[in-house]
Chains A and B, each alone.
Chain A
Amino acid sequence: MSDTGSSTSAQQPRLELKGITKSYPGVLANDHIDLKILPGEIHALLGENGAGKSTLVKIIYGALKADSGTISWNGERIDISNPHAARKLGIGMIFQHFSLFEAMTVAENIALSMPGRQNMAKLSKRIVEISENYGLPLQPDRQVHTLSVGEKQRIEIVRCLLQSPKLLIMDEPTSVLTPQEAEKMFLTLRRLSEEGVSILYISHKLDEIKALCHKATIMRAGKYISECDPTIETAKSLAEMMIGTDLRAPKHNDTGERGSVRLKVHNLSLDSNDQFGVDLNLINFEVRSGEILGIAGVAGNGQVELLEVLSGEALSKKPEEILFENKPIGNLGPSLRRKQGIAFVPEDRLGHGSVPEMSLVDNAFLSAYDQKQLINNGFIDRKKTKQFAKEIVENFDVRTAGVSHAANSLSGGNLQKFIVGREMLQDPQLIIIAHPTWGVDAGAAAAIHQAIIDLAAKGAAILVVSQDLDELFAISNRMAVIAEGRLSVGRNVQELSIEEIGLLMGGTTGSASQKEFESVV
């Protein structure tokens, strides 16, 4: 099993799916899907959001039951009735949406997924061992609700690795890692592969798949499209197979000219309310008119706190720490900041950027009622609000059955386009966008990127906070990195390399963490 990439066809597949079909109310999520994974193979599952990848892996993991089709494990036909059975076979799974108990500690959550009673002290020690070994730092006794998205994912990864699986399913595992961390994890995965562990790897990041995977199965709209060798395909050809249309890179006419300073953050420090949160420490940056500033960083390094204090959901200690067009705004709440021409797209689409069970009309009203004058003599102007919602849907190509449908009936990408559209159509002077394309399919991501660039071209100042470096490199003019509550100096994107950014993300601004980083390398 040394040469895993070009395994012979005679080899017994570890897992083989034939004709897997699964329907949800109103949707055929999987339509006769075939999939074959050999021992030690790293197999990519590629597809847009809503292509049915998550459904398929949940079936493999026993979390869902297929309506029809067969599953074979080492050539033997089996029935995986529940995740427990899957784990017993040796299937480990890292879900895209975490299945963690928020009120329990990291170690308790991991203990819950292990068979039998656990010695918590021993388990904690093993967690620390494994997490250090794979470069996924975790404190076993911290409560999950205090962790960032990135840290929560680390729990899921460590949880699987603890059980020495035969087949590891990973749903977008690197989306919250620095390039160095991802690279290190790839080393781990390759080592696992050499040890004979099969890996089913789901990702949007085509370069990653090319670099890591031996085989790729492509799905589109619930159907099996093809199986190919990603090492000989180009990222572009893979993407085209995935979305079925030609992919367009965002058009960027960077003239290098900048307008006046719109947003200036000066020595902003703020203690987090959360005892495990990150304190902001002397943050300085400015965003000019017509400029896109990207802030990169691994989740849980102060992004949440920074975004809150910029949106007005948290107030700064001194109003002068945040200046908008030279006026202090640090003491103003969200509504007053919007009045000045600032718009926000928060990280969490459902429940933060929108009210899930309310209609698109109501969600259009949510943040735009003042700027768009949707209140008439004290009463909500339904007609005008509906008009505005329709305008968003049309201008931003939001695919929905109608604006009276609830926000949570839209796919992630379409809802994100709706929220971005709602904020952009208020003609903001400054727009602050968190993770603009997190979990959004390639088509919607391209549309959102183009909209951001177009808005900057019209003279708005734009601040994008994201973990996706490719995204930041594609759209930003300047970039800074947040690590441990500190922000690096913003630099022009042309002068930066992914490696430099990665080092900054590892926290090299603080010398202590740099040493730690180097010692791990």
Chain B
Amino acid sequence: MLFKIEKRPEASQLMVYATPIFALILTILTGSFLFHFLGVDPVEGLRNFFVKPIDNTYGATELFVKATPLILCAIGLSVGFRANVWNIGAEGQLTMGAIVGGGVFVYFHDVDSVFLLPIMIVMGAIGGALWAAIPAFLKTRFNANEILTSLMLVYVALLVLSLLVHGSWRDPDGFNFPESRIFSESATMPILIEGTRLHFGTILALLAVLGTWIMLSKTLIGFQIKVIGAAPKAGGYAGFSQKKIVWFSLLFGGAMAGIAGLSEVAGPVGQLLPSISPGYGFTAIIVAFLGRLHPVGIIFAGLLMALTYLGGETAQINLGLPVAVTGVFQGMVLFFLLACDVLVNFRIRFTLFGKAVS
């Protein structure tokens, strides 16, 4: 008995949706072994990781709090990924969005206006977009690889943030701690459910998903993005500009990440700190692929990845596991997803001595 992998005549739509589930199942299986070897009962481990964090209202809202920046970053990245623009610097664009948007409050902290927060959101988007404009310029002008440039700019952005909160933006009443003033109420995302941290940023994330979905499926620019990604020569033949798409997708991705950063500092974090994100911008890459670069898929994937953050914390508290377990789970999901994706274009057939078993 042998098995052979053969190409499908057409990509399987069923598998496009089934492989994320396969990946999840394989992650859970492998995770069970992992828990076993860490000396934890697998059932108990999985329960702490996947169920316990969200078995109450507060936990459920926390899931959305964590998913918000993931979904915002991932939706922005997904547009670029569809156009073969590999922006992996969402973390830096998120940070720059938080700096530029949060900077508005730092300079206008005594202003009490309903316009303050909207201006901060817009400036957050602009900050992220400007940061992403650097790789866009380098790619279109010098053909520099955006994977490298966008990634390296992450560390620059983190250092800029660190410089500011250690320096000129430090809270004058903050006992020299490296942090900005705590954002005033008019500079903070409104809370949606009293007693939780669920905030207006989640609504922004859902609006971004809806808007992106409409853009990709119903507009010319969305069509251009898909064509340039799938067949660049056909795009050139149709008269679509590759440079324009590089610019658009990087600016769009940067703006979304910038809004994510602003909604973190004007939301759960509440001020500018040297570290404002546990790697949301990087995890968003997994979210985008796990969600099949599809807006609706990205919501579900964002929630699942948010759960790994919560699960990692719960496992740390209840079972004494290291926090790295979060990263391990996130990595396994992406690993198994990429492996299972072979099934989209190929199928496995079992054969008996060269003759097909029908």
Contacts and interface: CB of A to CB of B under 8 A. Distances in A.
B220 A369 contact: yes
Interface in B308-343: none
A358 B219 contact: no
Interface string B210-240: 0000000011100100110011011011110
Contact of A380 (B6, B11, B219, B234): B219
B9 interface: yes
A346 B11 CA distance: 25
A24 B8 CA distance: 9
Interface string A41-54: 00000000000000
A363 B352 CA distance: 41
B10 interface: yes
Interface in A304-339: 311-313, 333-336, 338
Contacts of B226: 355, 358, 362
A117 interface: no
A26 interface: yes
A65 B218 CA distance: 45
A409 B220 contact: no
A333 B240 CA distance: 9
Contacts of B195: none
B contact residues, range: 20 to 34
A367 B238 contact: yes
Contacts of A367: 237-238
Interface string A66-77: 011000000000
Interface string B7-28: 0111100000000000000000
Contacts of A25: 6, 8-9, 347
A233 interface: no
Contact of A352 (B234, B239, B241, B355): B234
Nearest to B347: A25
Given A355-B230, A366-B227, A338 B220 contact: no
A26 B9 contact: yes
B138 interface: no
Contact of B234 (A67, A355, A406): A355
Contacts of B231: 351-352, 354-356
Interface string B224-268: 001100110110111101000000000000000000000000000
Nearest to B234: A355
A351 B233 contact: yes
Contacts of A362: 223, 226
Nearest to A354: B234
B354 A65 contact: yes
B278 to A, nearest CB: 36
Interface in B188-226: 218-220, 223, 226
Contacts, number: 77
B239 A338 contact: yes
B355 A67 contact: yes
Interface in A332-375: 333-336, 338, 344, 346, 348, 351-358, 362, 365-367, 369, 375
Contacts of B238: 334-335, 366-367
B8 A353 contact: no
A145 interface: no
Interface string B278-311: 0000000000000000000000000000000000
Chain B binding surface SS class? mixed
A357 B233 contact: no
A379 B216 CA distance: 10
A36 interface: no
Given A334-B236, A353-B234, A367-B237, A380 B10 contact: no
A408 B234 CA distance: 14
A313 B230 CA distance: 18
Interface string A14-56: 0000000001111000000000000000000000000000000
A378 interface: yes
Nearest to A365: B223
A399 interface: no
A405 interface: yes
A253 B243 CA distance: 46
B159 interface: no
Contacts of A353: 234, 237
A409 B11 CA distance: 10
B111 interface: no
Interface string B127-147: 000000000000000000000
B9 A379 contact: no
Contacts of B355: 67-68
Contacts of B347: 25
B237 A311 contact: yes
Contacts of B227: 355, 358, 366
B230 A409 contact: no
A375 B220 CA distance: 8
B356 interface: yes
Contacts of B354: 65
Contacts of B10: 405-406, 408-409
B218 A380 contact: yes
Contact of B239 (A65, A334, A358): A334
Nearest to B349: A25
A23 B6 CA distance: 12
A380 B233 contact: no
A431 B226 CA distance: 26
Nearest to A313: B236
Contacts of B241: 333
Nearest to A368: B238
A365 B226 CA distance: 13
13 contacts: A23-B356, A24-B9, A25-B9, A333-B239, A333-B241, A338-B239, A352-B231, A352-B233, A357-B230, A366-B237, A379-B219, A405-B10, A408-B10
> Shortest 3 CB-CB distances between A and B: which pairs?
A335-B239, A334-B239, A355-B231
Interface of B: 6, 8-11, 218-220, 223, 226-227, 230-231, 233-234, 236-239, 241, 347, 354-356
